[in-house]
Structure 1
């Protein structure tokens, strides 16, 4: 459905038509990220990776441990998908997204399926450890990462700290988009607007790196809870927002986007080749012990943080272009990847709980092939049930409660 919109005289064009479009490649990329996170957690729990005094199980163990590079993909994708309509409004002068439908979309997409996991985990895995109402409300409200003893109750919920970070970003995005619009919208040229948005996002990347350095201070100890707070991951989200601006700019004025994005459009496979090189460099681990899951030193942690940021940028960028190449479409929008992408949220939510149900804990031991088969099979079953019984019905409420589309889509310029 096309919507004709207008903006103030400073707009690039007085009239623009927009339409919402589904990008299956983005769905496939989300499925890839979910599989990477599942694999690295199974590798840890089966003893494939190095931990404490145990060495990794060959180079396969090293590669499985560094599948942690999958984590930034989620943040980059969120920044790209959620900010793109705001970026398009700033760059092309289209109508700004309405805030109420935006929040309804986010709430109905994330909370119902998550609350089902919390209910099951609290009633089964954590029943004997719960001694008060706050211990239940804390994960329900996604506040479990903001208390120093948050890990004392939460078996099966360990990975949901990333969801708490995502929700904090959801809340902050309209304000960030408003500030970027004020800064970039004054320019008349769409290419300049794109570059101003990128400059406006650069302090967020700096904040992310600065906070990451704080979490690696020796005085913080190992695995501090502050490591899971949103500021550390802000840089990854800012990278996604930058890709949203570049994607929207390419939609409006393809010849005015920065040279990097023109390279992405013309040589998308080379971006993935470079991403593979970054991943292998992270596996070799220039600073630190390859294949070890122990908390890194300052130098090792900051090196990894940089490599993960670069990996997320190079891997996700090719699927953000308005017209992806045939190679990208074939790799990311084939039936298998689209199915994994469709159930990716359930895979993310349930795979840790499956390990607990099968093994009782996450401590490294056992057979990787066996645990992988059980975890993947069980997660696919529960994730599929979650999608069709919880997530999809909840998303259909968007039209009634939030006046928003029930189907996943990205706003683009109507051609």
Structure 2
């Protein structure tokens, strides 16, 4: 039996669930289609848990020769690459490097700022409605530095946030020790970014949002986004319960979005950055009060409900290539020297993929060549941060409201 909805949202990660909630609030009958049995089981589950209110400036591609030479050796903790994947990633990487010029970074920061500035507001509203406020602590995060040189650079980078209403506190070694008494020695100083929220269970937060969607009458269906096809008047996709048709469809598939947009003839310089994490028990009575980034070590420790989560930087590889958790192996001795980690709480590391575009901005809006087709993907390192606010912006466009910010910087047409 065929099913109908006003809107089908493909993908039940933080981005898709948030878009579904915003459309639902505006009176649309929405169905979420997901291949996994639950929401938030992909990239939305495996991040550092930060709602990054302070990251207005993007993760730019390094342009200085010192950094490029270091990464070329492929021995660092914060970045790793598969040589076999580089030819396919080349169009993305070249444009990523080009957009990472000083002028490019300033332009991108201006475009990202409206989304970042509304990110925490939109999350807090949804958390309140979903009964999930207990999953977030407004403690910010700490960026620690092992050398004076890197500390000075970190302070220069943070100075770009002056005048933007953000609270960044500089800590010397003793100040860091007061804030995190169980950290080991080795940090010369730190910056405490106090505005972001720290989520103790990112996957659980997405599940709470999905539960709110269902409580409000939304349908959650298991299906295969690759079966999407045009079907007048609109679109249809195969689900376990039959074909599901709708006038509008939203592609919010994160790193799998190309499964749909490429099939429909859209060509984007789409790239993947993979990442890994593992949870560890803290040794003895040690407590980690904030997420802590070891800026020189290239890893982050985050206190989660399940334990201390050790997360890695970026791995440039094919999305579906076998996992190669060398960054975790490199990070673990450094992390144990910084904080007393005991045994791992999983047998295997988790691996996920970040959907990336070379200008470090997502695609949010109408597909230029297909009526009723909408895109909401490419959030890079900030899917958890930007899910609710990008869902709002998309829903405002789809329902004819005046958008809270100009959507032009996020249109697909920017890629030609």
Question: What TM-score, normalized by structure 2, do the two folds share?
Answer: 0.28
Which structure features the higher share of strand residues? 2
Which structure features the higher share of helix residues? 1
Q: Which structure ranks higher in relative contact order (CA pairs < 8 Å, sequence separation ≥ 6)?
A: 1
Question: What TM-score, normalized by structure 1, do the two folds share?
Answer: 0.28
